[in-house]
Amino acid sequence: SQTIHQWPATLVQPVGSPLSLECTVEGTSNPNLYWYRQAAGRGLQLLFYSVGIGQISSEVPQNLSASRPQDRQFILSSKKLLLSDSGFYLCAWRETGVEQYFGPGTRLTVT
């Protein structure tokens, strides 16, 4: 069966510091991968999605970037965090079907 992992689970970072969040999926190959941000428990905002290694589509201009160095690994990064980057970051995957499945999330607090 497929599983999706995200780490870290929680993170507190100062403004201006770099960021790296990792997402990995097991038990599937060539999935579509997604990064979402959720503020205040509502409203999932799509940040990036990827249909293959090295292929990244950005939905929202911001100081975040994403990379997919391996088939089942998706990384969200920033060179300098802003206060507005605080939120709950969710990774999701989708295989050949339509359904999309989410990971457990990373709670990021920028101070």
Partner 1 sequence: GQQLNQSPQSMFIQEGEDVSMNCTSSSIFNTWLWYKQDPGEGPVLLIALYKAGELTSNGRLTAQFGITRKDSFLNISASIPSDVGIYFCAGQLGNQFYFGTGTSLTVIP
| Beta carbon nearer to partner 1, 15 or 39 | 39
Alpha helices in the chain (DSSP H): none
Residues that bind partner 1 (CB under 8 A): 32, 34, 41-44, 46, 49, 51, 57, 59, 88, 90, 92, 98-105, 107
Q: How far is the CB of 73 from partner 1 (least distance, A)?
A: 18
| Beta carbon nearer to partner 1, 17 or 55 | 55
Q: How far is the CB of 43 from partner 1 (least distance, A)?
A: 5
Q: How far is the CB of 76 from partner 1 (least distance, A)?
A: 15
Those residues with Cβ within 8 angstroms of residue 11's Cβ, 6 or more apart along the chain or in another chain: 19, 21, 106, 107, 108, 109
Order of strands across the sheet that contains 19-26: 3-7, 19-26, 73-78, 64-70
Q: How far is the CB of 13 from partner 1 (least distance, A)?
A: 19
Separation CA 20–CA 6 (nearest Å): 11
* C-alpha 93, offset from chain centre: 10
| Beta carbon nearer to partner 1, 10 or 17 | 10
